[in-house]
Structure 1
Amino acid sequence: MHRSLFYMLIMLLCCSCGKEVWLFTSFREPGTDGLHLLRSDDGYKWDSLPGVFFKPSNKLMRDPSIVQGPDGVFHLVWTSSWKGDKGFGYASSKDLRSWSEQQFIPVMEHEPTTVNVWAPELFYDKEAKQFIIVWASCVPQHFPKGEEAEDNNHRLYYTTTKDFKTFTPTRLFLDPGFSVIDAVIVKTDKPAYTLVLKDNTRPERDLKVAFAKAPLGPYTNISAPFTGKLTEGPAVLNTGREWLIYYDDYGKKQYGAVKTTDFRTFVPAAVQVPAGHKHGTIFKVKRRLADRLK
């Protein structure tokens, strides 16, 4: 009897260790100290993990995005400068503590007047077995603009890679006819892919969605805004019951979220996010790995 109970406890412990939890990448203003992480068991309530998990060598680290590849390796990209850089930072890790040597990935050198490379966002395309990296750049005089200045008129660009050693030539990802930044690709059911984006024009500065049959688009049917003004930095997760879209409500100096089941109807979600958290992405890890991060 005692032996049966012992083996039952072992099995329960093993099952518990195999469960996954959510991690949320983060930075703290002004973006010079490095990568922070939040943790959540349910996707609604988040706690800060103490410490800095990755330190940029000599520049900013803003908008950190992490995705885990099929081999278990975590890949990290980030905004390395407000202006001037024509690429973004990159590093990889097997445990989110020990990291590879930092690299700079130059993706906009073919456009010498490029103002910036903002918020690179990772997505792993399982069907094509490649990573897609989408970011926003402003190339003055290339596109019609609204009220924003010429050096703040952004479009979305992308590159793909299978190994983070060779990259396909940079291509235009989305020109919706207005300044756009902060794009997140989400694999959904109907339609197959949803893009959450920020309309960065002066009358808007809010979040919208668009839809496509393939991860690289074309994305069409851009929605009306589903957040208020002065919102940005979307991050998306699926709880199994609904989708949550987190966003930086920088006008109110807080983090907010909406929930949806179809990416057409959105209602406010009750979430808890620590103060100071800034623009990041959400991904799942094994519980035992997250426990070691403490």
Structure 2
Amino acid sequence: MAHPSRRHFLGMAASAPLAATGALALGAGTAHAADSAYAMVYFTESNTMLEADYNLHLAVSTDGLRWTPLNQNAPVATPTLGAGGLRDPFLLRKQDGTFVVLATDLSGTDWTRNSAYIHVWDSTDLRTFTGYRLLKLHDMTTTHSWAPEAFWDASRGQYGILYSSVNSSGHNVIMVSYTTDFRTTTSPQVFFDPGYDVIDGNLTVGVSGVNYLYFKRAGTLVGARSTSLNPGSFTPFSTAVNHGGTEAPTVVKSLTSNTWYLWGDTYTPNGVFYVWQTSNLASGTWTALDQKLYTQPLNSKHCGIHPITSTEYSNLIAKWGAPAWNRLKSYNFPARYVRHSGFAGRIDAYPFDPYPDSQWKLVPGLADSSAVSFQSVNYPTRYLRHYSYALRLDANDGTSTFAADATFYRTAGLADSSWASFRSYNNPTRYIRHADYALRIDPVSTTTERQDATFHVGY
């Protein structure tokens, strides 16, 4: 949640305290035994705000690293109350097995707008979103309720809702309000105040008896821990990580190994995630993950990630559909994607606008239907073709020469067989590769050339 900084004192009055429930104890944020995939909620922004969309977006993944945006990366739910837009969505599976989505009540980047409310949706399966409402977290109108997240506190028999607001000293702290139904809350309490500005609290509950709270401090991601969930019990302990200015920490456990991932988001409108990993959450040390291994949904910002079952994964793909387009990531420059610019083919560092320059429909080859051609999404009459060995985006003139120049055989990646390479149809000794970031077809023999000619076909 990018922010300029200070607000005023947070009042401590809200609705009446809630009675504890007898709900089944199940650690918030932990996976069910049947979970084998992940869902991500997010909103979108891009360099020039061409893709600024402050509604609820949804993506899925089988490994928690490479994501498939659903509904063509268009919203799956739209807030209509409050600011009429959202930031910082969060997803939680509740004790009854259904889901709740929370989000900041803020559309755009007007950080001076204060709201005591957050957006809330209920969902049984993430295919429909019901019960949309605003939930009031405090009574003050001079401070905000940013980046809400929730967890189940078994000892209280209630959910805690964490969010960022400003205390009497003038800096942001992590607050908590408790609820049983996400319709009314207890009077708020300070959950974590280390004495300096902190926002974006992300809580991982019950790992070998320890709870971990990650948060943003001065453009870095830092962790605190406690053996209880009591407000005021957390103590900072971890080594800070960042990639430039980083915010929105999200800790995710691998479903297949003892690996933890820490996602962080750059807090400019660029919308770039970076990921760190550790096999020992208690160590508080993280190692940057190779960007070849993860791909965020296009233009996604400040995400929430939660495990889901394989059935839920399949049902979401069936309901919302996978994108009709792809993006191609460079193997040896994984921050760069294949795009056209001035109708020349090249690889450029993500993000960029216009972002549709990097979206392609891999259609049956114009000269051989067993091969592929790259049809531009934003110039659908144009295809990527070679001309004097350089790749450029040209209109299909219907000739056999054009069809041959625009047709490529997809093969196992020359540098990594799990990736892809593309061999020219009419120059079969040559492959698509980048050279000084420009795309061309060349013979490939060296290690570097094989890497230049290898791409990940994703979203």
The interval holding the TM-score normalised by the smaller chain is 0.7 to 0.9
> Partner letter of residue 78 of structure 1?
A
Match of 1:97, SS? coil
1:166 equivalent in structure 2: 184
* TM-score normalised according to structure 2 size: 0.53
> Partner letter of residue 21 of structure 1?
A
1:284 equivalent in structure 2: 307
Q: CA deviation at 1:113?
A: 2.7
1:259 to 271, 277, 297: 277
2:172 equivalent in structure 1: 154
Q: CA deviation at 1:223?
A: 3.1
2:297 to 274, 279, 288: 274
2:90 equivalent in structure 1: 65
Match of 1:53, SS? coil
Match of 1:164, SS? coil
Contact 1:192–1:214 (Cα < 8 Å) also in 2? yes
- Pair 1:136 & 2:151 matched: no
- Pair 1:84 & 2:114 matched: yes
* TM-score normalised according to structure 1 size: 0.82
> Partner letter of residue 292 of structure 1?
N
2:228 to 197, 200, 214: 214
The aligned runs of 1:239-250 (5 Å cut-off) are 239=254, 240-250=257-267
- Residues 211-249 of structure 1: CA deviation (Å, up to 9, x unaligned): 101123410134341223410011111113210011102
Q: CA deviation at 1:190?
A: 4.8
> Do the aligned partners of residues 71 and 54 (structure 1) sit closer, same or farther apart at CA in structure 2, a change above 3 Å counting?
same
Q: Aligned partners of 1:233, 1:117: CA distance in 2, in Å?
A: 15
> Partner letter of residue 123 of structure 1?
F
Match of 1:25, SS? strand
Contact 2:54–2:87 (Cα < 8 Å) also in 1? no
Contact 1:23–1:40 (Cα < 8 Å) also in 2? yes
Q: CA deviation at 1:250?
A: 3.6
Q: CA deviation at 1:126?
A: 4.1
Q: Aligned partners of 1:62, 1:253: CA distance in 2, in Å?
A: 13
Q: CA deviation at 1:293?
A: 1.8
Match of 1:101, SS? strand
Give identity over the alignment, percent.
Answer: 25
2:250 to 226, 229, 235: 235
2:316 equivalent in structure 1: 293
Contact 1:236–1:281 (Cα < 8 Å) also in 2? no
Match of 1:290, SS? helix
Larger Rg: 2
1:113 to 96, 119, 142: 142
Q: Aligned partners of 1:269, 1:188: CA distance in 2, in Å?
A: 25
Cα RMSD after superposing both structures: 2.1
Q: Aligned partners of 1:191, 1:180: CA distance in 2, in Å?
A: 25
Q: Aligned partners of 1:215, 1:179: CA distance in 2, in Å?
A: 21
Contact 1:191–1:211 (Cα < 8 Å) also in 2? no
Match of 2:312, SS? helix
> Do the aligned partners of residues 248 and 186 (structure 1) sit closer, same or farther apart at CA in structure 2, a change above 3 Å counting?
same
> Partner letter of residue 228 of structure 1?
H
Runs of at least 4 residues off by over 6 Å:
none
> Do the aligned partners of residues 132 and 196 (structure 1) sit closer, same or farther apart at CA in structure 2, a change above 3 Å counting?
same
2:240 equivalent in structure 1: 225
Match of 1:293, SS? helix
Contact 2:38–2:63 (Cα < 8 Å) also in 1? yes
Q: CA deviation at 1:112?
A: 4.1
- Residues 162-182 of structure 1: CA deviation (Å, up to 9, x unaligned): 222332211111111111100
- Pair 1:24 & 2:47 matched: no
Match of 2:303, SS? coil
- Pair 1:48 & 2:69 matched: yes
Q: CA deviation at 1:262?
A: 2.5
2:60 to 32, 39, 43: 39
The aligned runs of 1:172-183 (5 Å cut-off) are 172-183=190-201
Contact 1:157–1:174 (Cα < 8 Å) also in 2? yes
- Residues 73-126 of structure 1: CA deviation (Å, up to 9, x unaligned): 2111100124221121112111213222321111121x3432x21100111234
> Do the aligned partners of residues 19 and 266 (structure 1) sit closer, same or farther apart at CA in structure 2, a change above 3 Å counting?
closer
Contact 1:67–1:124 (Cα < 8 Å) also in 2? no
Q: CA deviation at 1:191?
A: 5.7
Contact 2:251–2:261 (Cα < 8 Å) also in 1? yes
Give unmatched runs, 5+ long, in structure 2. 1-33, 318-459
Q: Aligned partners of 1:112, 1:194: CA distance in 2, in Å?
A: 30
> Partner letter of residue 93 of structure 2?
Q
Q: Aligned partners of 1:229, 1:177: CA distance in 2, in Å?
A: 23
Query: How many residues of Structure 1 are paired with residues of Structure 2 in the alignment?
Result: 261
Contact 1:184–1:235 (Cα < 8 Å) also in 2? yes
Match of 1:279, SS? strand
